């Protein structure tokens, strides 16, 4: 049966995943539980390694697993449930490239504070990243979607 004549429930998960464009996949993979767990866990592990001044190991642990998780999720994950979720609607409204860059920049004080053995600076990095995630709460509903 040609694809155009098939009912929605007869499509495979892979075909449904293909309906989401690259920009949407890049947006919604960020809220997949495995991606969140990877990012939080590796950022904390890298901070611990930086505290011990193990720069190369910290950079490998802090960056490589997150990149690999992104590649895997973009390639194989069904992200549609996250797009349809409340959290998905929330990030669609506010998660611009600028907010993503600001979140990533929060690693500078977090990891810099760990390197300098400065808990206040490390906590500033954590607060910065959390504030970026929560920044959509202060926007008006009339703001256009980020995607």
pLDDT in tens, 113-140: 999 999 999 999 999 999 999 999 987 6
Q: What pLDDT score does 138 carry?
A: 83
Per domain, the residue ranges of the chain are 3-138
Better-predicted residue by pLDDT, 49 or 142? 49
Whole-angstrom distance, CA of residue 45 vs CA of residue 30: 19
Alpha-carbon distance values, 12 to 2, 74, 110 (Å):
14, 17, 42
Q: Residue 55 pLDDT more than 90?
A: yes
Q: Is the dihedral of CA 33, 97, 80, 70 positive or negative?
A: negative
Percentage of residues in the chain having pLDDT higher than 90: 78
Supply the pLDDT for residue 72: 97
Does residue 143 carry a pLDDT above 70? Answer: no
């Amino acid at each position: 049966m040609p694809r155009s004549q098939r009912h929605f429930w007869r499509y495979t998960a892979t075909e449904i995943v293909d309906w989401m464009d690259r920009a949407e996949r890049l947006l919604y993979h960020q809220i997949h539980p495995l991606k969140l767990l990877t990012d939080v866990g590796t950022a904390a592990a890298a901070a611990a390694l930086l505290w011990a001044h193990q720069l190369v190991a910290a950079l490998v642990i802090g960056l490589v697993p997150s990149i690999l998780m992104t590649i895997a999720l973009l390639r194989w994950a069904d992200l549609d449930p996250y797009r349809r979720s409340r959290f998905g609607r929330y990030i669609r409204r506010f998660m611009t490239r600028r907010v993503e860059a600001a979140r990533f920049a929060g690693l500078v004080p977090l990891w810099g504070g760990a390197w300098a053995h400065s808990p206040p600076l490390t906590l500033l990095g954590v607060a910065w990243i959390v504030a970026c995630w929560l920044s959509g709460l202060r926007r008006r509903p009339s703001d256009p979607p980020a995607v």
